[in-house]
Amino acid sequence: MNTRQSSAYSGHDEIWLLIPWYANGSLGDSERARVKAHLQACLVCRRELANQAMLAKQLEQTPQLGISCKPSFERLMSRIHGEEAIKANRNSQTQDKAQWLENLNRWLFPHFTPKHLSAVFATGLLAIALALLFSGTPFNEIKTYHTVANSNSLDRFTTSDIRVIFADQVTEREIGKLIGSIQGNIVDGPNPAGVYTIRVADGMPLTQALNQLRGNKSIIFAEPALPQAGKPNGGGG
Amino acid sequence: MSKAQPGEPGDNDLILRICSADEVAFETLYKRYYPRLFRFVFRVTRHLDQIEEIINDVMYVVWKRASSFQPEARASTWIFGIAHKKCLKSMSGRLPGEHLELEDAIDLIPGVQDSGLQNLELEDWVSVAFSKLPADQRTVLELTYQQGLHYSEIAQIMDCPENTVKTRMFNARKKLKSLFPDFLPESSADNRGNPL
């Protein structure tokens, strides 16, 4: 063995590890030159290169998939649009609240000077005292019931719309996914009762969408937005 | 279409446009990566029933986090890095050995009928070989031979040292030789070769 052969062969273990990336053509110039020099001296590595080239060829020959990605893309966009609609709605509600607080602050600030503090403090104390005084007295509980549907708004909806209430712990992302799963879009909501109105995509039967939603634990209510023809308009919740 | 054709916008350009919520650019990138991601996710997870969900989770991150992409990096490294994480997450949620059989999965995947998917499973011996390897070794093989990536890129994608990538590939090669001695003749992965 001459010195040159010995030098090329000395890095055998290291070169052996690099052979797959020599075979796929991704090595940089210096690494490729080192592997090439070693291959001239090492029969075992040349055989291994042939094996790896064969493996690479087999992988390349794997049948190409003829799967259409269009339905998948539409589902993803439906999910993204659904989430964005929820976010926009929440932002709008937050802005409304912020505006209301700002107006209140604007009205209070000029009137709320230190000289009024004692009067405010006294009023507060009086309110607490009254509350304590009547705390033992049973009050008639006034419960406010909300209907899920507002009859004034029904004319905005179609027979492809579903009213949905999600469980409290469901995130925006999960809501987006669920809406995407029926290829739906949010057309209204959430209203103060947490009701979303979702329009199911053309081509998906309403019953199928309803069954799919009702089968999910994250959804506590799913009913058509409009009464279905031939069915009594029973309260669904 | 799986890679940018001459005259088409590159991946990085598309991601830049996605930062401005350009849905056309997003659709182009989605179509370009869908076949590559489909194959990658199938190879790594072996879960046919979750491929679409994983791909959409990956592309969802691309849409949402496009602005965090470093333009000097390769888009494929970034996207496959996300895909690798999603595959690991998907596999961690499953019981060992639990996967849907091909026949049961066909109805769940849109457009799969009459496609090459059955051939992928039934005629492709590589698929059989892959099923015998651990997920990390499958990932390295797939990224090397199907995606043509350098080991340093694979290390970035898998978030591990480069030597770990080489070791995984070494072990995968050794296992394949033991499984298919006729196809890949034993050439002594452990023995030193003889100089000419």
Residues B18-66: pLDDT tens digits?
A: 999 999 999 999 999 998 999 889 888 877 788 889 999 999 999 999 9
For tokens 């890129």, name the residue.
B153
Confidence of residue B139 (pLDDT cuts 50, 70, 90): very high
What is the predicted pLDDT for the residue at A153? 56
What is the predicted pLDDT for the residue at A71? 87
Q: What is the pTM of this model?
A: 0.60
A60/B149 touch (CB, cutoff 8 Å), yes or no:
no
Residue B118 Cα distances to A64, B48, B98, B103, B108, angstroms: 11, 11, 20, 9, 14
Q: A119 at the B interface (CB within 8 A)?
A: no
Write B170-178 long-range contacts (CB < 8 A, 24+): B170/A16, B170/A17, B171/B137, B172/B133, B172/B137, B172/B138, B172/B140, B172/B141, B173/A20, B173/A48, B173/A51, B173/A52, B175/B132, B175/B133, B175/B137, B176/A55, B176/B129, B176/B133, B177/A51
What is the predicted pLDDT for the residue at B193? 39
Contact between A89 and A190 (Cβ < 8 Å): yes
Where does residue B111 rank: exposed (0-12), middle (13-18), buried (19+ CB within 10 A)? middle
Q: What strands lie across the sheet with A219-224, from one edge to the other?
A: A184-188, A195-200, A161-166, A219-224
What is the predicted pLDDT for the residue at A155? 67
Instruction: Tell me the nearest-neighbour CA distance from A85 into chain B, angstroms.
Output: 14
As a whole number, mean pLDDT of residues B132-153 equals: 91
Mapping DSSP to helix (H, G, I), strand (E, B) and coil, where does residue B194 land? Answer: coil
pLDDT in tens, chain A (237 residues): 455 555 555 689 899 999 999 999 999 999 999 999 999 989 999 999 998 888 888 777 655 556 678 888 999 998 898 888 888 777 777 777 777 778 777 776 666 666 667 777 788 888 888 887 766 555 444 454 555 555 555 667 788 888 888 888 888 888 888 888 888 888 887 877 788 888 888 778 888 888 888 888 888 888 888 776 555 444 443
What is the predicted pLDDT for the residue at B75? 92
What is the predicted pLDDT for the residue at B76? 92
pLDDT tens for each residue of B174-190 = 888 887 665 554 444 44
Q: Does position B110 have pLDDT exceeding 80, yes or no?
A: no
Chain B residues touching residue A77 (CB < 8 angstroms): 23
Instruction: Tell me the nearest-neighbour CA distance from A156 into chain B, angstroms.
Output: 28
Chain A residues touching residue B148 (CB < 8 angstroms): 24-26
| Segments in chain B forming alpha helices (H) | 11-18, 23-45, 51-64, 75-92, 102-105, 117-122, 125-131, 135-141, 151-158, 162-179
Q: Chain B 69-98, CB below 8 Å of chain A: which residues?
A: none
What is the predicted pLDDT for the residue at A235? 42
What is the predicted pLDDT for the residue at B45? 86
CA dihedral A80, B25, B46, B175 (to 10 degrees): -140
For tokens 């912020």, name the residue.
A98
Between these two residues, A4 and B6, which has the higher pLDDT value? B6
- Torsion region of A201: left, alpha or beta (phi above 0 gives left; psi -120 to 50 gives alpha): beta
Q: B112 at the A interface (CB within 8 A)?
A: yes
Contact between B87 and B45 (Cβ < 8 Å): yes
Domains and CATH numbers, chain B: 11-179 (1.10.1740.10)
